[in-house]
Structure 1
Amino acid sequence: MNTENEIRLRLRFYKDVSEPISVIKEKFQEHRDRQPHDYSVKVNDEHIWFHFKGEKKHYWSPHLHLELESKEENGTHIRGLFGPDSTLWTLFMFLHFVVAGIFTIFGMFAYSNYTLKVPLITDIVIMFIMVIIWFLLYVIARQIREKGHDQMNELEQAFLKIIN
């Protein structure tokens, strides 16, 4: 998967397989039972979570979420989504909401100060700082994704090996 030119932080892929969902789920369950414990596989209904554990797991380690959809003629459409660890993702979302909240509050302050004809330079400066922090959060997320790129490829190769 070529990820160098992707803007999205959570990479996706799609794959069609000529086997039914039950066979694919069995393959992942068999792999979970016989494979060394480098990564964990969780199967629940039509969803499969595939992530690292033990010494290989780091804060930047990605996980792979597979969603299985029935297709005509006993086939399966697999939707894959790479993402960061859920704790890290939650932290980033929290930071984004805080930054957006501060930006909105100081936007309201700036509007109030403008209508009252009071200087609003402080409000504008804080809003500008929030925009810079948004860009910094994006850059940090890209760096974390690049750091986990090798593990993402490893997960993809393991996934392809299991379904073939």
Structure 2
Amino acid sequence: MRLKLLWVGKTQESWVRTGIEEYAGRIRRYLPLEILEAREEKGAQAAAMRERECERLAKLIPKGGRLVLLDERGEAMTSPELASFLSKNRDQGTQDLVFAIGGAYGFTDQFRSQAFKSISLSRMTLTHQMVRVFLLEQIYRGFTIINCEPYHHE
């Protein structure tokens, strides 16, 4: 299985980039990981920005990729549940598991309809920049759970 993370806009803060690099490196010990950025839309109405950003994200999804949205409306999962989800996808032969983080105005309904699953990291509102690090850390945590490594404690 290959893992792809898609998000809108460049990572602004150096400390966020450091966190991304740290957890991306850890994840790559388990499977290939590619991180792709879609250009952020600026200066338009919210609906138009959302539409254009989702079009750009859609172009980054490989054919047959299984799309998972990070969305405030998504399913809340525990870390062990995410680990189980990752494991099942790997074991079922998913070639490309694609996680997408939208821009400031989220996803269009059309883009949402393409998703295999939608998950939420928190019921609280989080910045799109920090969600990048949180998602990577949770994916790493998931693989340590799958491999019975001493990182996650219950």
TM-score (norm 1): 0.26
Please say which structure displays the higher CA radius of gyration: 1
TM-score (norm 2): 0.27
- The structure with the largest helix share of the pair is 1
Structure with bigger RCO (C-alpha 8 Å, 6+ apart): 2
